[in-house]
Amino acid sequence: MSKILIIHGPNLNLLGEREPDVYGTVNLENINQQAIEWGNTHSIDIDTFQSNHEGEIVDQIGKAKDTYDVIVINPAAYTHTSVAIRDAISAIGIPTIEVHLSNIHAREEFRHVSTVAPVSRGQICGFGIKSYILGLEAALSIINEK
Amino acid sequence: MSKILIIHGPNLNLLGEREPDVYGTVNLENINQQAIEWGNTHSIDIDTFQSNHEGEIVDQIGKAKDTYDVIVINPAAYTHTSVAIRDAISAIGIPTIEVHLSNIHAREEFRHVSTVAPVSRGQICGFGIKSYILGLEAALSIINEK
Amino acid sequence: MSKILIIHGPNLNLLGEREPDVYGTVNLENINQQAIEWGNTHSIDIDTFQSNHEGEIVDQIGKAKDTYDVIVINPAAYTHTSVAIRDAISAIGIPTIEVHLSNIHAREEFRHVSTVAPVSRGQICGFGIKSYILGLEAALSIINEK
Amino acid sequence: MSKILIIHGPNLNLLGEREPDVYGTVNLENINQQAIEWGNTHSIDIDTFQSNHEGEIVDQIGKAKDTYDVIVINPAAYTHTSVAIRDAISAIGIPTIEVHLSNIHAREEFRHVSTVAPVSRGQICGFGIKSYILGLEAALSIINEK
Amino acid sequence: MSKILIIHGPNLNLLGEREPDVYGTVNLENINQQAIEWGNTHSIDIDTFQSNHEGEIVDQIGKAKDTYDVIVINPAAYTHTSVAIRDAISAIGIPTIEVHLSNIHAREEFRHVSTVAPVSRGQICGFGIKSYILGLEAALSIINEK
Amino acid sequence: MSKILIIHGPNLNLLGEREPDVYGTVNLENINQQAIEWGNTHSIDIDTFQSNHEGEIVDQIGKAKDTYDVIVINPAAYTHTSVAIRDAISAIGIPTIEVHLSNIHAREEFRHVSTVAPVSRGQICGFGIKSYILGLEAALSIINEK
Amino acid sequence: MSKILIIHGPNLNLLGEREPDVYGTVNLENINQQAIEWGNTHSIDIDTFQSNHEGEIVDQIGKAKDTYDVIVINPAAYTHTSVAIRDAISAIGIPTIEVHLSNIHAREEFRHVSTVAPVSRGQICGFGIKSYILGLEAALSIINEK
Amino acid sequence: MSKILIIHGPNLNLLGEREPDVYGTVNLENINQQAIEWGNTHSIDIDTFQSNHEGEIVDQIGKAKDTYDVIVINPAAYTHTSVAIRDAISAIGIPTIEVHLSNIHAREEFRHVSTVAPVSRGQICGFGIKSYILGLEAALSIINEK
Amino acid sequence: MSKILIIHGPNLNLLGEREPDVYGTVNLENINQQAIEWGNTHSIDIDTFQSNHEGEIVDQIGKAKDTYDVIVINPAAYTHTSVAIRDAISAIGIPTIEVHLSNIHAREEFRHVSTVAPVSRGQICGFGIKSYILGLEAALSIINEK
Amino acid sequence: MSKILIIHGPNLNLLGEREPDVYGTVNLENINQQAIEWGNTHSIDIDTFQSNHEGEIVDQIGKAKDTYDVIVINPAAYTHTSVAIRDAISAIGIPTIEVHLSNIHAREEFRHVSTVAPVSRGQICGFGIKSYILGLEAALSIINEK
Amino acid sequence: MSKILIIHGPNLNLLGEREPDVYGTVNLENINQQAIEWGNTHSIDIDTFQSNHEGEIVDQIGKAKDTYDVIVINPAAYTHTSVAIRDAISAIGIPTIEVHLSNIHAREEFRHVSTVAPVSRGQICGFGIKSYILGLEAALSIINEK
Amino acid sequence: MSKILIIHGPNLNLLGEREPDVYGTVNLENINQQAIEWGNTHSIDIDTFQSNHEGEIVDQIGKAKDTYDVIVINPAAYTHTSVAIRDAISAIGIPTIEVHLSNIHAREEFRHVSTVAPVSRGQICGFGIKSYILGLEAALSIINEK
């Protein structure tokens, strides 16, 4: 049975509890539940991980090698600053898909650049919680290609 | 019955016939067929349009207003140079989703910037023909939100 | 009898029908009518032309040489990207006046730069439909100078 | 009776007396006379003010609030360097129109940028003395809109 | 009773013990003591937190929501690189005041830019330990405004 | 008895009379009164000076040498453009504190840079009228250090 | 018999009829005649195509695949703005030679950059009509290499 | 008898009285005396003018036309920011020589650029009071050339 | 007996286990063993530390003061982004040598800049595991200089 | 009889002997022989000169004045760095043609800019040894124009 | 008896013989004669040196140490590109004065920057042959200061 | 017996004789002696070469091919400006190691960039004469790898 790891970057633990007018009432747990349900439907094992620590995300990616088929990552704020996460993805060689809740290309200019994008398979942004589900669909098609 | 317009930008008419080592043997017709099949499955009317002319794409978007619920567009080379397509999308106000076959953020630096992105709902890139199908899925969730 | 050609760039065909809250209910026909009325008052022949196609605008300017005394152009989105329209104006040598409905210098930074301005006599922007009438007044004073 | 204040920036006092080959023999007095005549024709009170001092122009704008309906300003050299004039215009909230004798967008690159433009209604440049008259026409249409 | 959280960024734990010629003999404990004394005088509860870990600072801000009225933060080196701390401040919505011991605008150019400043109420820098006390004074006036 | 000079830059004379929705109903006189009251409480002589003229501010700083212990300056618009004020501060060598009503680092990008900051002791911004009082507190601690 | 396609970009249709002082009295027909004569001499079939429309040039390149051995292109104004023409050349894989009448590297700075150059075999500029003939000579040596 | 006007920019009135360790004990009066002595020796009338006000310097240059043969100017801080002084020099057409006490090209990067230089005959910097005397020598050779 | 601390930055824990075609089969343990052997030969105590966490590296440097004579650091991905590690090195004042396995100046442009270099004694890059040994040799000569 | 000087810049002496996989087995002697043969065919005297020394190339150009009708130069690495060669070409006023073996516009970005191009008649690049022959053909047409 | 070395950079050997309309009929010999005459008048030994070779100029400066009191250098084209000449001046520590015939700050932008200026005492430019004489006068005052 | 060529760039001939406070009393001869001694110890033949001439260094590298196993080069000032040295290294294909006495990344910003680095095996800087010895050690390990 294939396995996908979903990594949530910094501040995503705050989702839904705060700023409901901006992000709606969806919280991280909802995203994870929907992802796991999607996994059940498609017979894929879904693990999820959230951290505000760049180093913990790097640790987690480093340990992913022999366990996961695809990583779906929302690096959040680290998207724009972390070379370490980029190098981790590059080092382990597992296909990685970058997702974002908001359309980062329509926000402040510094959010248009992703250090992670050049080592990812692709990027999906702007569709809220649906960005994750589309990321999982993309992951599935990569798994099926093998 | 909801309607989605798929717009293919310049040189996508050459897809599949040439450079099979790069883009595989999938051609534009295949993409359109898969999109229409997806439409049949989800009871959505799919129209497709390809042009190498920036002006024709602007014309087409201008006429889309009362006919389509969502536009899925792969602006190809015009992604990086066209303010006119951006303004057309902005003028008609139909939700628009930007898709790309390749991961534009992993290619030459001038391809990282999209003039269209700030007026789109979101961007999906890097998954080949699957980018279009994911774009349609995103479109469907926008239609269902209404 | 002197003749002035008014050229409207991309998406100006959409004016008035859409986004009435932004641009008011004035549409392209209204602008053209006001321009022609102005022409009648001042005994100037006014022709108007709109296209979403950069190439058609270039064609039109190329054919303007022996027919028109002045060109009044709102290049819209092509203001910021078209070297071809600039070169066409430069090639035919007819005095050309650049007009804009909105104050382009108060909008996004990429709209502050006009490739067409260095080959135009002057620029008028920010006064809505009145920008065109002021452009015609400026044209008239150029005609009278001859 | 409506009132318009015309502000002339630095070195415009030298106009006409010098460099007649460049700027013609028109001098500041001529511009002011033509402006006042235009005012008489349209029943608008015109006041004029020239200073080489950034601070005096800021003073003058600050005092304009309850006296004038529109300001027509040619900030000349201060166009490209003065944040203080920009902030003054922004603070008093009177509609302001920026005019220039020459086409600043066709001159040295540092003259293409106006710090004042983002807080003005619009910009008119390149038509010599006629730029002022067009500025007054634009002012009139703003007065009539109220 | 109102509560203020003081966050000290990386390397501030080294303060005073080292480089006494540069920073004097004041150490982090002294700052915290002075802050707490100030709190006693003004009947404000002061909590302090220091970490060299960006992620721990993000964690701490995320947990601050219902506990603190104002945050006073010296992000130190993370001032110039951390989008994650910026997003955390932005997410919780507690008024935040940025303080620095040295005048960052008089140091190396890369220290002039603060990623945190656009989401803070204000910035105080250059007054050594006094920067913190002024930050607390500013915090008090924000509390009193409510 | 120690003396502090407060210098207010361009357009601050307009404060309070206009745009009450933005800056509240506080005007320059209120700021000066609060500053003088603060001076009375702390036995410091406070002089205040406002000018819209860069040259007058330079004059004033040049004359401050033997009279004042500290200068508190809000250079307003000249913050971002004046090398002359910077050089004046640098020439006289009196400790100078830069204050701003608004958080300049959260506004337009050109307001993030202060030519005056590298020759000031520190910068305080974003706390409205309180910025001045905090500036005076900082000045007091500098006086006490001597 | 080998075949070469010559593509002339925007405004080259105006050549010779206008601005004889700049470009001489040579017009597009003369260039085409000289090219065809050269073709007769070297037993090469020469086709020529001119368009002011970026899209038509892209169309033409897309159709060139099985018909032509080499393309000689003067992209004129599109040299500096068109990613679409670049991608078309790249897609069909026919050796392409970029020619210019004037020395683009000695003109305005924006004309120094060619988006087409990185996908061309080489660039020849600055020799007027002779640039085309040299381009054909270069084409011939590419044909002979095969 | 020929006449030369020496203009001293902002803060030069402070010279010598302050910072004797940096600029020596030479003050503005010394410079003027040495200049006038030089004038006596060479039978040239020397007038001197100092102002901290950009506008006053512009006024002074505007009035110089029929009175002076050459202007020697040390624009000090306005060297790097004033377009108005540049335009004044350009408008009156009197040969102008730019001098600086210090070597501006060896100081902070923003001091390397002079807005005045492109309209001056030449620039002399780095020789203290001697820069003025060399400027007068250069002026003399320009007067002798006529 | 002198002591040297070797710090390995993020992802170096993955070395050797993965991408053997790129980095060979050398892993972190091998590097540490070689370093310790080198230490034995030269009678230097070698401690090693690896972390993916910027904060832990900052912690470690902060604690190094009284224990180590020299630090040899390969900051890996944090080389290009970490001001915190730079400030830590700067704060403790222990001579620090920066090493890299690969030649960072021959890789992507963002890897050419090291925030750590300006506070290090020197930089050695491009020699694989040998970079560390050369770093230790350099450390030894610094120890011997004392 | 007309004379053409061919100048080969640095490292072209190494051509052909090394890196045959990149540049083929053609060496500098071959180029010179082909050039001289071309000269014999067209009754033009060809002199050739190679140097790795910028100064020697400048010397050679300086001495070319009364001897040569045209210079054909491949400045190689000095293309991108030498203002001295540019000034030499500009000083002697002999028509100069710039040639390159490779397409410099398709290589590293720093090779896209030529300091020599603005003072040359034209540029030919990308056709290997043929670039020189095309340069000679261009030279011939310049000689014939006289 | 004091000694001054005058160094002339590349292409100055061509002066006067060519382009008399630009530089007049003055040639290098004239400059050297005038300089030597000046030396005779002021009892200063003048040596002169010209080279088109950056390396020879570096050699010459390196040998100047114990022989010359001041160097007057016109680095010509190497002004804008040579770090080697800068380092040579810096290494020998002899006071060096930079002169230019033309006003380099009024020419192409790349000529505004001098790599040599930061290690020179001062810069004199724009006065033709007089620039050298003024440079010698400046040198004399440096000699007299000792 | 293996052979290494050490190349010293411009101004290194001045080392030690001058500025002993900066570079110590070590001179070029000392470096060469230490290098040769190192060579004796490791049975490697060491040749050394110094030149202030970019062209001579390029000549020397070009002749190194069949004689040397490794080049150790300190390009000094040419590090930052020479494309010719870069191309020479690239052309001959001998492994090359870049060394610097000082830490170039801690000096002026223009010294942070090395044109030579991308074609070198690695870079060692900041350790004075020891940089050369470390460079030789690195060379040895490259020789041993073969």
| Mean pLDDT by groups of 10 residues along chain B of 146 residues | 97 83 80 98 98 98 95 98 97 96 96 97 97 98 92
CB atoms within 10 A of CB A87: 22
Q: Which residues of L touch K62 (CB under 8 A)?
A: 11, 13-14, 52
H121 contacts H138 by C-beta, under 8 angstroms = yes
Q: Which amino acid is at H90?
A: S
Band (J16; pLDDT cuts 50, 70, 90): confident
Residues of H with CB under 8 A from a CB of D: 53-56, 58-59, 62, 65, 81-84, 86-88, 91-93
Question: Which one, of A89, A71, A115, A83, lies nearest residue I14 by Cα?
Answer: A89
Per-residue pLDDT of chain C (146 residues; tens, 9 = 90+): 999 999 999 999 999 876 666 666 789 999 999 999 999 999 999 999 999 999 999 999 999 988 999 999 999 999 999 999 999 999 999 999 999 999 999 999 999 999 999 999 999 999 999 999 999 999 999 999 87
Lowest-pLDDT range of A36-40, H35-39, K22-26: K22-26
Please give the pLDDT value at position F25: 75
Backbone conformation region of residue D10, classed left if phi is above 0, alpha if psi is from -120 to 50, else beta: beta
Q: What is the pLDDT along chain F (146 residues), one digit of tens a residue?
A: 999 999 999 999 999 876 666 666 789 999 999 999 999 999 999 999 999 999 999 999 999 988 999 999 999 999 999 999 999 999 999 999 999 999 999 999 999 999 999 999 999 999 999 999 999 999 999 999 87
Which of A52, A74, A80 should be substituted to probe chain E, the one whose Cβ sees the most E Cβ atoms within 10 Å? Answer: A52
Strand pairing category for H122-125 and K122-125: antiparallel
**Between J20 and F41, the higher pLDDT residue:** F41
L84-105 mean pLDDT = 96
H or E stretch at A133: helix A129-145
What's the pLDDT at G65? 86
**Residue with more model confidence, F23 or L114:** L114
Nearest CB partner across the interface for K137, out of H103, H120, H137: H137
Q: Give yes or no: K68 in active site.
A: no
pLDDT recorded at residue B146: 78
Between the alpha carbon of residue E124 and those of residues A86, E135, E139, I1, I7, the distances in Å are 35, 7, 12, 46, 35
User: How far apart are alpha carbons H99 and D67 in whole angstroms?
Assistant: 45
CA J91 to chain K, closest CA, distance in angstroms equals 7
Count residue pairs from I and L with Cβ separation < 8 A.
78
Contact E83, E115 (CB under 8 A): yes
Mark yes or no for CB contact C134/D130 under 8 Å: no
Distance between F70 CA and the closest CA of chain E, angstroms = 14
In whole angstroms, give the CA distance from residue K30 to residue G40. Answer: 60
**For H103, what's the count of Cα atoms within 13 Å in the CB-facing half-sphere?**
20
Closest-CA residue of chain D to F15: D91
Taking residues D101-115, report their average pLDDT. 96
Which residues does chain F have within 8 Å of residue E103's beta carbon, measured at their own beta carbons? 117, 120-123
Q: Which of F103, F119, F123 is opposite residue E121, by nearest beta carbon?
A: F103
**Closest chain I C-alpha to L122 CA, distance in angstroms:** 4
Q: Are E73 and E96 in contact, with CB atoms under 8 Å apart?
A: yes
Q: Do chains L and I touch (3 or more CB pairs under 8 A)?
A: yes
The answer for residues whose C-beta is within 8 angstroms of residue G116's C-beta and 6 or more apart is G73, G75, G78, G79, G82, G85, G86, G89, G96, G98
Q: In this model, does residue E129 exceed pLDDT 80?
A: yes
Q: Is the pLDDT of residue A4 over 70?
A: yes
**In chain L, what residues touch J18 (CB-CB under 8 Å)?**
65, 91-93
Q: At what angle do helices D54-63 and F54-62 cross, to 10 degrees?
A: 120
What integer pLDDT is reported at residue D23 of this predicted model?
66
Whether residues A62 and I53 touch (CB distance < 8 A) is answered with: no
Which helix (H) or strand (E) segment is D72 a member of? strand D70-74
Distance CA B141, CA L81 (A): 56
CA dihedral (C115, C117, C123, C129) positive or negative: negative
Res. G21: pLDDT tops 70: no
Residue L11 pLDDT = 96
Residue A25 reports pLDDT greater than 80 = no
Residue K19 has pLDDT above 80, yes or no: no
Answer whether H22's CB lies under 8 Å from H11's CB.
no
Measure the CA–CA gap between D52 and H54, rounded to whole angstroms.
8
pLDDT for residue E56 is more than 70? yes
Predicted confidence pLDDT, tens digits, chain H (146 residues):
999 999 999 999 999 876 666 666 789 999 999 999 999 999 999 999 999 999 999 999 999 988 999 999 999 999 999 999 999 999 999 999 999 999 999 999 999 999 999 999 999 999 999 999 999 999 999 999 87
Reported as a single tens digit per residue, the pLDDT across J81-128 is: 999 999 999 999 999 999 999 999 999 999 999 999 999 999 999 999
Is C70:C143 a contact under the CB 8 Å cutoff? Answer: yes
Average pLDDT over every residue of D24-49: 95
pLDDT of residue I21 exceeding 90, the answer is no
* Sign of the dihedral defined by the CA atoms of residues H132, H134, H140, H141, in that order: negative
Question: What's the rounded Cα separation, in Å, for the pair C70 and D39?
Answer: 28
What are F9's two structure tokens? 């830059």
Total domains in the fold of chain F: 1
User: Which chains pack against E, by 3+ Cβ pairs within 8 A?
Assistant: A, F, I
Q: Chain J residues within 8 A (CB-CB) of chain L?
A: 9-11, 13-14, 18-19, 51-56, 76-78, 80-81, 110
CA B35 to mean position of chain CA atoms: 11
Other CB atoms within a 10 A radius of the CB of residue L20 amount to: 12
Closest residue in G to J112 (Cα–Cα): G113
State how far Cα C53 lies from the chain centre. 15
Q: What average pLDDT does the segment K81-95 reach?
A: 96
Report the predicted TM-score, pTM, of the whole model to 2 decimal places: 0.95
d(CA L23, CA K90): 13
pLDDT value at E23 more than 70: no
K36 CB neighbour count, 10 Å cutoff: 16
B18 φ, ψ (degrees, to nearest 5): -130, 165
> Do the bridges between strand L122-125 and strand I122-125 make them parallel or antiparallel, or are there none, so unpaired?
antiparallel
pLDDT at J18: 66
CATH code of the domain containing J132: 3.40.50.9100
Q: Has residue K25 got a pLDDT over 90?
A: no
Q: How far apart are CA E96 and CA J83, in angstroms?
A: 53
- Indicate the residue of I123, I137, I141 with minimum beta-carbon distance to L123: I123
Which residues of G fall below an 8 Å CB-CB distance to B? 53-56, 58-59, 62, 65, 81-84, 86-88, 91-93
Check if the beta carbon of residue H109 is closer than 8 Å to that of residue L108.
no
Please tell me which residue of chain J has the smallest CA distance to L58. Answer: J52
| pLDDT at site I100 | 97
pLDDT for res H13 = 95
pLDDT at residue G26 in the model:
87
> Is the CB of residue F141 less than 8 Å from the CB of residue E127?
yes
pLDDT of residue C137: 98
What is the nearest CA distance from B12 to chain G, expressed in angstroms? 9
Q: What is the mean pLDDT of chain K?
A: 95
Instruction: Give me the pLDDT at residue B19, please.
Output: 66
CB contact under 8 A, F87 and H56: no
Range of the domain at B16: 2-145
SS3 B59: helix
| ipTM over the 0.90 cut-off | yes
Phi, psi of F22 (to 5 degrees): -90, -55
CA-based nearest distance I118→chain E, Å:
12
Question: What whole-number percentage of chain D has pLDDT above 70?
Answer: 95
Contact between chains at B78 and G84 (C-beta distance less than 8 A): yes
Cα torsion D115, D118, D124, D125: sign: positive
With CA atoms as reference, report the closest residue to G14 among J122, C71, C81, C66. Answer: C66
Q: What letter would DSSP give residue D83?
A: H
Query: In the structure, what pLDDT confidence band is assigned to residue I22 with cuts at 50, 70 and 90?
Result: low
Confidence of residue J19 (pLDDT cuts 50, 70, 90): low
User: Which stretch of A21-35, C120-134, L110-124 has the lowest confidence by average pLDDT?
Assistant: A21-35
The strand pairing partners of E74, in sequence order, are E8
pLDDT at position J124 is 98
Q: Name every chain E residue with its beta carbon within 8 A of the beta carbon of F122.
A: 103, 124-127, 131
Provide the pLDDT for residue E73: 98
- Which chain D residues are within 8 Å of H56, Cβ to Cβ? 52-53
- The chain-wide mean pLDDT, for chain J, equals 95
- pLDDT for position C19: 66
Quote the percentage of chain I above a pLDDT of 70: 95
Predicted pLDDT of residue K80 = 97
DSSP state for residue E104 in the 8-state scheme: G
pLDDT of amino acid G114? 97
pLDDT of residue B48: 98
pLDDT at res. B25: 76
Size of interface A-B (CB pairs under 8 A): 77
- The pair of structure tokens assigned to J74 is 């491949």
Task: Please say if K100 is a catalytic residue.
Answer: yes
- Which one of the listed residues C8, C23, C68, C132 is annotated catalytic? C23
Q: What is the pLDDT of residue J23?
A: 66
pLDDT confidence of E26, banded at 50, 70, 90?
confident
